[in-house]
């Protein structure tokens, strides 16, 4: 079968938001899996302290020992970076001549871990606008709304500004020549130091680029790190009247991205360890790549650093539309603070000016002014302000030439573009559409000059028009910007903010901070100021709040270790909807809620822990304790109550997917696909019983409370319902909370491998042959030139272990995923592969010809074609992964993916698939 885009299932255009991928997005010449960088690995070795005979040895010797044993085993390697931070990470980043040697390295003694180097994509704000000058039309008057939302303004008023605290930022560098960031570099300036690990020209996208490090982290070409730095530390008194959250803190900038392009996690580890040795109190990272696992190298090292009492803040990611279980790494770091984004309560919009009668300006939903000169009269397509289908049909013949009017149209029934097309047919090219109650928001007007105004404003304009008033409008190109109170999403979790939890049920994000529509500093050559959105903006905000905490309470490890709990227990719960108020948004995307810096820093009661991790039903940890300590001077009486949050239904019910997307049900169970964000919420909640519901704590005393949880009932476990909520501990004057999260399903039942035809029009997984055809019968490959097979697959859930082995064509093995042409035949005796840790269990019994591919802790795929939608594993040479040649013969690929929480030595915990027969017919 030849691959053509016409094979894509037509039903995909239906309501499911499932993106079918054009086959052209599959590149038959590139190998690789996810973000894994070929041939490069991070090796972690035992600490000298771990090895009794070497306890006295210098860590240097540890490296020499590592290289010696690599050489002794004939492993060809080049050292890219050396890590030498006792207690945090000792090891090296290496390039292996043969990736196959990773297996050999894995078997060496004294080795803690070998992980592939992974690519971390360049930070991309969700939106960006570079500000031109003080009169920039895009900039609203009140830009300190984010400080008001979080109580930072009250701390500033008390002179709490982060003085004496050092913050290390890992980013694209900083333009410290911007006067708002101190105008200089080095001791005595705001940016006291740092390092450039990569250089301007570094961009991983272009392949062989080698980093060119130097001492100067100046960035005048990218801008992301300068924006991040300003959110943390911009000096007040500038032309825009903005200030950083902790503008008396000092900054060390570690530049790990070049002007454009990606970086790798070995650079991040290097920068993190440098950040520690430079004595930073806080490390902050507005970066990440898709993961979902707590085991990525960057996550592991970040978590270890946080465990020493430094505060580490990391962006949760901008993948909110991709659904739950999609936290990026290193935000998955267990002890770090993963930060979600909340929309600013104020959005910068534009005003039109009303002429002819006395009336206030009218706000329209656009960041930038509509490009309209002069003052124009209005024309309403209907004088009935209740008309439901205004301008959906061609306008009447007696309509005048509309080219010199601002046309007023009511929203409803047909698309905006259809209305505007009808208006344009009468010459109208500038229109304002008034809301019919659907909501004041950004609308899609194609390439027409138009925008939405509120219903009342429309009714006013239409009635003035109907009464024949001499009314006209103008669109100021400067000075028309207004800070509009955002009553639609202001204060809610930003739609782009990624959902957790991690695949092992840690709740990520931990807390949220403002990250939508944030004005901050930018490199001087690029305009000095810019407006950006993203969890990248929320993260330095949290680093700033952390600096205020350290500034007030001192930079001791004790304060650092208690910080996340303090922020979580004093945060502000976030609703899922401003109009309805209920239910509360899922903890899977808000964490413990919007940080309240004032409440955190002035808390007189210490509640701990901040997170109750209830896990899935198979590992349900339903009895939890927390403590309430009175650190004040008077006795306090508290009551305890349960405030549930919406239960996030992670997956689309399978039946609907099958019925609407794939009419021919080939696979009885179907493949469940994630619900795209905003993930639907159920009001089936968990129930909780407390050991005490009210109690008094005297000064200095601590009360312990036990909570017994019961997961919600009546929900379909196959949609992976994430239940969550809060336990409020309140007195008449104070309120604290403990946040919980669990899964009303067992993760081992989550399907890992997509077996549907939804994405490419054929059942997955599938082999693609040399000419790009889907292979569904026996096919021979020479492995010369482009004549080799590739395996195309999608993961519907993360897997802790995925392997592909070559097996005999007539293996006696029944995969969990049926293949069309499998017979059960005689078994040949060959080498049996087992994982290094496998000692028994039934897994080792599968006879394989040899291993081809193995990877740990892979993220699930998304349903969008942006590089995260599917995986393609290419086998361009007739070699096993241990380097030996595959003898010519008849084989199949055996794909096995371990289910989450599965036992790696139990074959039954894997999903498996056998390919059609692959003939290896290599001339060599």
Ligand X SMILES: *[C@@H]1O[C@H](CO)[C@@H](O)[C@H](O)[C@H]1NC(C)=O
Name the residues annotated as catalytic: 171, 224, 536
Q: For ligand X, which stretch binds (CB under 6 A), given 13-21, 92-100, 575-583, 668-676?
A: 575-583
Q: Which of 332, 351, 503, 796 binds ligand X (CB under 6 A)?
A: 351
Q: For ligand X, which stretch binds (CB under 6 A), given 158-166, 226-234, 577-585, 717-725?
A: 577-585
Give the containing element (helix H, strand E) for 119.
strand 111-120
Name which of 308 and 454 has its Cβ closer to ligand X: 454
Q: How far apart are CA 855 and CA 116, in angstroms?
A: 9
Contact between 363 and ligand X by CB under 6 A: the answer reads yes
Q: Which of 154, 163, 355, 553 binds ligand X (CB under 6 A)?
A: 553
Contact between 580 and ligand X by CB under 6 A: the answer reads yes
Of residues 908, 913, 895, 803, the one with CA closest to residue 858: 803
CB of 67 to ligand X, least distance (A): 34
Name which of 148 and 613 has its Cβ closer to ligand X: 613
Q: Which of 22, 186, 446, 883 binds ligand X (CB under 6 A)?
A: 446
What tokens does 615 get?
């896990």
What tokens does 108 get?
């060496």
The sign of the torsion formed by the CA atoms of 170, 171, 176, 180 equals negative
Contact between 785 and ligand X by CB under 6 A: the answer reads no
Name which of 418 and 819 has its Cβ closer to ligand X: 418
Name which of 80 and 675 has its Cβ closer to ligand X: 675
Contact between 624 and ligand X by CB under 6 A: the answer reads yes
CB of 176 to ligand X, least distance (A): 33
Name which of 221 and 578 has its Cβ closer to ligand X: 578
CB of 362 to ligand X, least distance (A): 6
Of residues 123, 110, 117, 226, the one with CA closest to residue 179: 226
Contact between 731 and ligand X by CB under 6 A: the answer reads no
Q: Which of 7, 619, 830, 890 binds ligand X (CB under 6 A)?
A: 619
Site string for ligand X, 597-616 (x = CB under 6 A): ---------x------x-x-
What tokens does 240 get?
């825009």
Place of tokens 């040649």: 885
CB of 310 to ligand X, least distance (A): 17
What tokens does 252 get?
């060390």
Secondary structure of residue 667 in the 3-state scheme: coil
CB of 880 to ligand X, least distance (A): 31
By CB under 6 A, the residues from 308 to 337 that bind ligand X are none
Q: Which of 95, 132, 203, 577 binds ligand X (CB under 6 A)?
A: 577
CB of 363 to ligand X, least distance (A): 5
C-beta of residue 231 within 8 angstroms of C-beta of residue 245:
yes
Size of the site for ligand X (CB under 6 A): 27
Name which of 486 and 532 has its Cβ closer to ligand X: 486
Name which of 577 and 776 has its Cβ closer to ligand X: 577
Q: Where are the beta strands (DSSP E) in 518-650?
A: 518-521, 529-533, 605-608, 611-615, 623-630, 636-649
> Which residues fall within 8 angstroms of residue 724, CB to CB, at 6 or more apart?
507, 586, 587, 588, 644, 645, 647, 648, 739, 740, 741, 742
Name which of 607 and 651 has its Cβ closer to ligand X: 607
CB of 268 to ligand X, least distance (A): 24
Give the CA-trace dihedral at 597, 601, 603, 609, to 10 degrees. Answer: 80
Q: How far apart are CA 297 and CA 120, in angstroms?
A: 12
Q: For ligand X, which stretch binds (CB under 6 A), given 82-90, 211-219, 573-581, 877-885?
A: 573-581
Q: Which of 68, 206, 215, 360 binds ligand X (CB under 6 A)?
A: 360
By CB under 6 A, the residues from 655 to 694 that bind ligand X are 678
Q: Strand 111-120: give its sheet, edge to edge.
A: 77-85, 89-96, 36-45, 111-120, 263-264
Name which of 109 and 373 has its Cβ closer to ligand X: 373
CB of 481 to ligand X, least distance (A): 6
Chain Cα centroid distance, residue 889: 44
Contact between 130 and ligand X by CB under 6 A: the answer reads no
* DSSP conformation class of 429: -
Output the furthest CA–CA distance in the chain (Å, rounded). Answer: 98
CB of 289 to ligand X, least distance (A): 22
Secondary structure of residue 919 in the 3-state scheme: strand
Q: Which of 621, 696, 702, 906 binds ligand X (CB under 6 A)?
A: 621
By CB under 6 A, the residues from 804 to 863 that bind ligand X are none
What tokens does 177 get?
């020549």
Q: Which of 5, 631, 773, 832 binds ligand X (CB under 6 A)?
A: 631
CB of 38 to ligand X, least distance (A): 29
C-beta of residue 46 within 8 angstroms of C-beta of residue 89:
no
Q: How far apart are CA 244 and CA 233, in angstroms?
A: 4
Contact between 572 and ligand X by CB under 6 A: the answer reads no
DSSP string, 696-715: EE-TT-EEEEEEEEE---S-
Q: Which of 159, 207, 371, 581 binds ligand X (CB under 6 A)?
A: 371
Q: For ligand X, which stretch binds (CB under 6 A), given 108-116, 261-269, 317-325, 359-367?
A: 359-367
C-beta of residue 3 within 8 angstroms of C-beta of residue 772:
yes
What's the half-sphere exposure (Cβ side, CA atoms, 13 Å) at 588? 35
Q: How far apart are CA 815 and CA 765, in angstroms?
A: 13
Peptide bond into 804 cis (omega under 30): no
Name which of 455 and 670 has its Cβ closer to ligand X: 455
Q: How far apart are CA 748 and CA 816, in angstroms?
A: 14
CB of 697 to ligand X, least distance (A): 13
Burial class (CB in 10 A: 0-12, 13-18, 19+), 123: buried
> Which residues fall within 8 angstroms of residue 386, CB to CB, at 6 or more apart?
none
Q: Which of 213, 361, 717, 919 binds ligand X (CB under 6 A)?
A: 361
Give the containing element (helix H, strand E) for 692.
none
By CB under 6 A, the residues from 482 to 511 that bind ligand X are 482, 489, 492, 504-506
By CB under 6 A, the residues from 373 to 412 that bind ligand X are 373
For ligand X, the binding residues (CB under 6 A) are 351, 360-361, 363, 371, 373, 446-447, 482, 489, 492, 504-506, 553, 577, 579-580, 606, 613, 615, 619, 621, 624, 631, 678, 901
């Amino acid at each position: 079968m030849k691959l053509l885009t016409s094979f894509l299932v037509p039903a995909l255009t239906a309501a499911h938001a499932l993106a079918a991928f054009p086959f052209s997005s599959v590149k038959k010449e590139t190998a690789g899996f996810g973000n894994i960088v070929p041939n490069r690995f991070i090796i972690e070795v035992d600490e000298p302290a771990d090895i009794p005979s070497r306890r006295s040895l210098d860590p240097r010797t540890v490296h020499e020992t590592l290289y010696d044993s690599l050489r002794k085993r004939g492993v060809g390697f080049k050292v890219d970076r050396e890590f030498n931070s006792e207690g945090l990470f000792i090891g090296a980043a290496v390039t292996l001549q043969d990736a196959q040697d990773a297996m050999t390295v894995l078997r060496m003694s004294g080795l803690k871990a070998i992980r592939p180097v992974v690519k971390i994509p360049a930070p991309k704000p969700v939106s960006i606008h570079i500000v031109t000058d003080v009169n920039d039309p895009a900039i609203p008057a009140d830009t300190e709304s984010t400080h008001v939302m979080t109580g930072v303004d009250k701390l500033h008023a008390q002179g709490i500004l982060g003085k004496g605290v050092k913050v290390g930022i890992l980013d694209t560098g900083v333009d410290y020549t911007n006067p708002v960031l101190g105008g200089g570099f080095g001791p005595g300036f705001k940016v006291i130091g740092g390092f450039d690990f990569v250089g301007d020209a570094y961009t991983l996208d272009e392949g062989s680029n080698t980093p060119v490090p130097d001492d100067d982290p100046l960035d005048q070409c990218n801008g992301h790190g300068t924006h991040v730095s300003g959110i943390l530390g911009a000096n007040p008194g500038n032309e825009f009247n903005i200030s950083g959250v902790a503008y008396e803190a000092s900054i060390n900038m570690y530049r790990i991205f070049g002007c454009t392009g990606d970086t790798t996690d070995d650079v991040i580890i290097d920068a993190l360890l440098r950040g520690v040795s430079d004595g930073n109190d806080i490390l902050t990272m507005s970066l990440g790549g898709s993961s979902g696992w707590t085991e990525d190298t960057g996550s592991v090292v970040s978590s270890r650093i946080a465990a020493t009492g430094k505060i580490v803040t990391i962006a949760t990611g901008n993948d909110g539309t991709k659904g739950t279980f999609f936290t990026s790494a290193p935000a998955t770091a267990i002890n770090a603070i993963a930060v979600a984004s909340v929309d600013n309560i104020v959005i910068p919009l534009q005003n039109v000016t009303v002429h002819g009668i006395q009336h206030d300006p009218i706000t329209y939903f656009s960041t930038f002014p509509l490009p309209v000169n002069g003052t124009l009269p209005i024309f309403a397509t209907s004088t009935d302000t209740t008309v439901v289908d205004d301008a959906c049909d061609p306008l009447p013949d007696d309509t005048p030439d509309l080219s010199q009017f601002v046309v007023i149209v009511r929203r409803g029934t047909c698309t905006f573009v259809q209305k505007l097309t009808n208006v344009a047919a009468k010459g109208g090219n500038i229109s304002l559409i008034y809301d019919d109650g659907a909501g004041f928001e950004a609308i899609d007007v194609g390439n027409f000059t138009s925008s939405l105004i509120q219903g009342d404003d429309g009714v006013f304009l239409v009635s003035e028009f109907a009464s024949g008033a001499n009314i006209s409008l103008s669109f100021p190109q400067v000075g028309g910007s207004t800070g509009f109170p955002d009553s639609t999403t202001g204060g809610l979790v930003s739609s782009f903010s990624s959902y957790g939890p991690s695949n092992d049920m840690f709740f990520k994000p931990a807390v949220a901070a403002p990250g939508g529509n944030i004005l901050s500093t930018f490199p001087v050559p690029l305009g000095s100021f810019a407006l950006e959105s993203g969890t990248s903006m929320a993260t330095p905000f949290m680093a700033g709040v952390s600096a205020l905490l350290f500034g007030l309470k001192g930079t001791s490890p004790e304060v650092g270790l208690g910080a996340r709990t303090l922020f979580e227990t004093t945060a502000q719960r976030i609703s899922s909807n401003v109009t309805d108020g209920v239910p509360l948004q899922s903890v899977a995307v808000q964490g413990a809620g919007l940080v309240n810096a004032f409440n955190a820093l002035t808390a007189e009661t210490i509640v701990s822990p901040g997170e109750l991790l209830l896990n899935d039903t198979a590992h349900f940890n339903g009895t939890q304790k927390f403590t309430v300590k009175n650190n004040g001077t008077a006795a306090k009486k508290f009551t305890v109550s349960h405030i549930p949050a919406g239960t996030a239904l992670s997956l689309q019910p399978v039946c609907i997917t099958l019925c609407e997307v794939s009419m021919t049900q080939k696979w009885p169970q179907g493949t469940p696909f994630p619900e795209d964000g905003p993930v639907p919420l159920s009001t089936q909640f968990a129930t909780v019983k407390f050991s005490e519901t009210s109690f008094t704590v005297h000064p200095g005393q601590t009360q312990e409370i036990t909570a017994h949880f019961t997961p919600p009932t009546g929900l379909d476990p196959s949609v992976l319902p994430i239940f969550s909520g809060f336990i409020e501990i309140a007195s008449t004057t104070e309120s604290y909370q403990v946040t919980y999260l669990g899964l009303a399903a067992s993760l081992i039942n989550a399907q890992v491998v997509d077996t549907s035809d939804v994405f490419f029009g054929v059942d997955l997984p599938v082999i693609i042959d040399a000419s790009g055809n889907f292979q569904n019968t026996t096919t021979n490959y020479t492995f010369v030139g482009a004549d080799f097979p590739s395996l195309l697959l999608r993961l519907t859930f993360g897997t802790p272990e995925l392997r592909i082995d070559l097996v005999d064509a007539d293996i006696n093995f029944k995969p969990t995923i049926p293949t069309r042409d499998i017979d059960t035949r005689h078994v040949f005796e060959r080498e049996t592969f087992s994982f290094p840790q496998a000692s028994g269990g039934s897994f080792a019994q599968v006879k394989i010809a040899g291993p081809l591919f193995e990877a740990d802790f892979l993220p699930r795929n998304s349903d969008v074609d942006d590089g995260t939608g599917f995986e393609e594993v290419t086998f361009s040479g007739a070699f096993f992964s241990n380097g030996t040649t595959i003898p010519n013969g008849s084989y199949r690929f055996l794909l096995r993916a371990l289910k989450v929480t599965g036992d790696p030595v139990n074959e039954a915990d894997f999903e498996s698939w056998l390919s059609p027969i692959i003939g290896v017919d290599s001339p060599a």
